[in-house]
Structure 1
Amino acid sequence: MHFKLHPKLIGLCAGLLLSTGIQAQMVELDRVAAIVDNDVIMASQVEQRMNTIRAQLAERGAGELPSDEVMRNQVLDRLVLESIQLQMGERAGIQIDEGTLNQTMAQLAERNGVTLEQFRAALERDGIDYGLAREQVRRELIINRVRQRRVAERIQVSDQEVRNFLNSEMGRYQTAADYRLAMIVLPVSENATSEEARRQSEAADEIYRELQAGADFTSLAVSRSGGEHALEGGELGWRKAVQLPPAFVNAVDEVGVGGITPPLRSPAGYHILKLLDKRGGDNLMVNEYRVRHILIKPSEIRSEAEAAQLIQRLYERIGNGESFENLARAFSEDPGSALNGGSLDWVMPDAMVPEFREMMVATPQGQVSAPFQSQFGWHILQVMDQREVDMTDEMREQQARNLLQNRKFDEELQTWLQEIRDEAYVEIKS
């Protein structure tokens, strides 16, 4: 049986980040490519990531690829940022247990419509070692949790912003469409001089002219974009219209599917967008879940490992017949639900953090989930009931809040990545 992995799955598993285990497999006579705080990036890691990205871009049918020097610089910059975030995760005690990792790998396979064994075989057929891909997923999860903790805490959405949004034209059409986009970014920092901004504007105009003349968008994104998704050919995936600045939505609507916008200015710099696909969003029915959970938080007196052990013991006690409700009242550290036996009442998936949402949706009604971790700590949950409801005013407000938070998160992430890069000790070796 032969099939191709979806590019997003290849992208998630592509490349190998820094780890002692992986470094132990480095070839002899390797050399240091960069020193990043208390870590190092080896030249072989850079070459290995470059090879994987080339294969990934070829899978997408990219045209002429950038030179080795340009790609090496892009890859090294990506590895530097990954190393900084992984070290932040290590200092914060963030760990991904084997159960969570196994579940994530199974979910990756399921999303691609294959079994885990077929997923593994497909990776290895494409030259990606399954064990190393599994470690890459672990690191992706750590980086995502670091970002959720450090970036999300910088974001606030007021009730007035939500009301203004719902009363706006964009808010009224929030369910109208989803866009699959690719983007080339030429960043302009807040402290940039007018001359620096002018040079970036001219560079954006030049890239746009090349695209209009038939240049490959993916290749130019890899070689010229300064955005986080450059090495994925600039592809952002699916975004709701309300996650995008109104000017972006208007521009991609004007060019249509397959079209490329002229350079667009934002506080972060200049952006060139390509609309890869568009789909309607007029289904106003949503699933709600009546769910309860138990939360155990790591603290100064309880390590991450001890929190994981305690939630596992509670999971086993429920499996042996003890009352979920009573254990939630006695142990859960979510003050909003503990007194109610862990009940969160009816919730929408979009209102929950990703780890909780995915576990809630995957857990059959009446069953208790295996322990899992989110940015808040360790959980177990039980889905008591499920229903499909029309979009209500309350749901609209929550959806608007989530979408505004996502928009702000995307904007804040780029700023935060630049800040941590500037604050880190980075020495690039020639």
Structure 2
Amino acid sequence: MAVTLYSGVTYAQVKNLDRVVAIVDEDVIMQSQLDNRVKEVTATVSKRGGELPPHDVLVKQVLDRLILEDLQVQLARRYGIPADDDEVSAAVIEIAKNNGLTIPQFQMALRKEGLTMNELRTQIRRDMLISRVRQRALSEKIHITDQEVQNFLNSEMGKLQLSEEYYLASILVPVRQGSSYVDVKKAEDKVLAIYKQLQNGADFHRLAMSASGGDRAIDGGDIGWRKAAQLPPPFDQMINGMKVGDFTQPVSTPGGLIILKVMDKRGGSKVLQDEISVRHILLKPTPLRSEAETQKAIERLSQRLSNGEDFAQLAKKFSDDPGSAQRGGSLNWIEPNALVPEFRQVMESTPVGEISKPFQSRYGWHILQVEGRRSTDNTAEYRKQQAMNALYERKYEQELPIWLQQLRDDAYVEIKL
């Protein structure tokens, strides 16, 4: 169960006398660490039903992995890369949640496997440091130009990877090669009758199960997720622009007459981003103004606004947010998720044209005024970001083994097995 709960956890510390099995720059790897990781890998492979290499080969592979991990953790510490207690605690909660356990239940499950919460937290922190030092080191090596992004978007691979996907179902009326005119006519009459039933609202899955001659008939004709580029002509062109619930007219193919239906869609479509036009006044506590005095000051401004004074003028005069104060408190059009939760919650619950009551965030005390709401088409920017992510992942996978090998070559490692 330990492997299921968290694949990186180590087994309980070996109580026997320990010894150094490797010196790695400024650190050492102990026999107990090696034994624990070998046990972990053995358990993982056994659960998957895999076949282990000879023991001596396994030990060497595990030790090599531990050496590389140790070098990365040391580098992360030299860089000053953080992995604080709050982040580790959040990761523990997420692991427990993913396993359907409360924290007390999770702790009990760990104890049954001979593990402690401290051991789990140590491994989570280690994994965080390794992930972050890799991102930092490789981000300095990976560069993506605008031209690369554009080339990717224009390429067949890019179009396929970023295109919309359709969950499809089909009804097939088979027509064998060399069939007589009479047989072809019977098939055409049958598929037209099916098509008419669909136009009258018949259930596609039921018709597929009862009338389709395809091998997927028993599954209600379900084909699964497909991109337009993965479909044979003319379906690759017909499917573009179809909505969920739409179905094609009968199409003649080498295998027979087919009707295709779009059961669901995902990705590739327009990406609309909600934006809100908002003004705010921020008052911060200072050494000369206490928290309580700041709250009273914001309440006085709230009363002045209620009496009809101009929001922009009060923001210019009193707001402690220098950037927005010059614009009368305006944050312009802003995406809600860019704001702290306290601000976002009040903003989203305030009607257009209304002014909120005073509220507190981590920055101080606020009053806000919502001036408008809109949805903007962010599809082009979203697709560009997807392309950048795809290119980055590709280059990351190319650069990672090179970087790890260089890290290993530059290190002082003495194996004492």
Alpha-carbon distance in 2 for matches of 1:283, 1:5: 39
Cross-structure match for 1:413: 400
Whether the 8 Å CA contact 1:284–1:390 is kept in 2: the answer is: no
Number of paired residues? 261
Offset at 1:26? 5.7
Alpha-carbon distance in 2 for matches of 1:428, 1:176: 50
Q: How does 1:296-315 map to 2 (within 5 A)?
A: none
Cross-structure match for 1:34: 22
Cross-structure match for 1:10: 6
The alpha-carbon distance between structure 1 residues 133 and 367, as it changes in their structure 2 partners (threshold 3 A), is farther
Cross-structure match for 2:53: 66
The alpha-carbon distance between structure 1 residues 367 and 85, as it changes in their structure 2 partners (threshold 3 A), is farther
Cross-structure match for 1:145: 132
Alpha-carbon distance in 2 for matches of 1:124, 1:389: 51
Offset at 1:345? 3.8
Alpha-carbon distance in 1 for matches of 2:266, 2:3: 23
Offset at 1:6? 7.5
Give, as a single letter, the amino acid of the residue that structure 2 aligns with 1:14.
V
Deviations, residues 288-326 of structure 1 (Å, cap 9, x unaligned):
5769xxxxxxxxxxxxxxxxxxxxxxxxx8xx9699x97
Alpha-carbon distance in 2 for matches of 1:112, 1:128: 16
Offset at 1:364? 10
The alpha-carbon distance between structure 1 residues 75 and 427, as it changes in their structure 2 partners (threshold 3 A), is same
Alpha-carbon distance in 2 for matches of 1:117, 1:140: 23
Alpha-carbon distance in 1 for matches of 2:110, 2:375: 37
Alpha-carbon distance in 2 for matches of 1:101, 1:164: 40
Alpha-carbon distance in 2 for matches of 1:414, 1:136: 22
Alpha-carbon distance in 2 for matches of 1:347, 1:115: 31
Alpha-carbon distance in 2 for matches of 1:398, 1:347: 19
Give, as a single letter, the amino acid of the residue that structure 2 aligns with 1:15.
T
Alpha-carbon distance in 2 for matches of 1:367, 1:409: 40
Give, as a single letter, the amino acid of the residue that structure 1 aligns with 2:404.
L
Whether the 8 Å CA contact 1:14–1:53 is kept in 2: the answer is: no
Alpha-carbon distance in 2 for matches of 1:341, 1:41: 57
2:15 aligned counterpart, secondary structure: coil
Whether the 8 Å CA contact 1:287–1:348 is kept in 2: the answer is: no
Cross-structure match for 1:156: 143
Alpha-carbon distance in 2 for matches of 1:408, 1:70: 30
1:422 aligned counterpart, secondary structure: helix
Whether the 8 Å CA contact 1:15–1:49 is kept in 2: the answer is: yes
Whether the 8 Å CA contact 2:162–2:386 is kept in 1: the answer is: no
Deviations, residues 7-65 of structure 1 (Å, cap 9, x unaligned):
4x522x3237xxxxx9xx66353111100001000111100111112222223x22332
The alpha-carbon distance between structure 1 residues 388 and 171, as it changes in their structure 2 partners (threshold 3 A), is farther
Whether the 8 Å CA contact 1:285–1:388 is kept in 2: the answer is: no
Q: 2:32 aligns with which of 20, 44, 49?
A: 44
Cross-structure match for 2:381: 394
Please tell me whether Structure 1 or Structure 2 has the larger radius of gyration of its CA atoms: 2
Please give the root-mean-square deviation of Cα atoms over the aligned residues, in Å: 4.5
Is 1:55 the counterpart of 2:43 in the alignment? yes
Cross-structure match for 2:412: 425
Give the TM-score taking structure 2 as reference length: 0.52
Q: 2:152 aligns with which of 165, 178, 181?
A: 165
Cross-structure match for 1:314: none
Alpha-carbon distance in 1 for matches of 2:76, 2:383: 34
Gaps of 5+ in 2: 166-226, 228-264, 277-290, 299-317, 324-328, 348-361
Gaps of 5+ in 1: 17-21, 179-240, 242-279, 292-316, 331-339, 350-358, 369-379
The alpha-carbon distance between structure 1 residues 426 and 342, as it changes in their structure 2 partners (threshold 3 A), is farther
Which shows bigger deviation, 110-119 or 415-424? 110-119
Offset at 1:154? 1.0
Q: What percentage of residue pairs aligned between the two structures are identical? A: 38
Cross-structure match for 1:334: none
Offset at 1:110? 2.7
Alpha-carbon distance in 2 for matches of 1:341, 1:88: 44
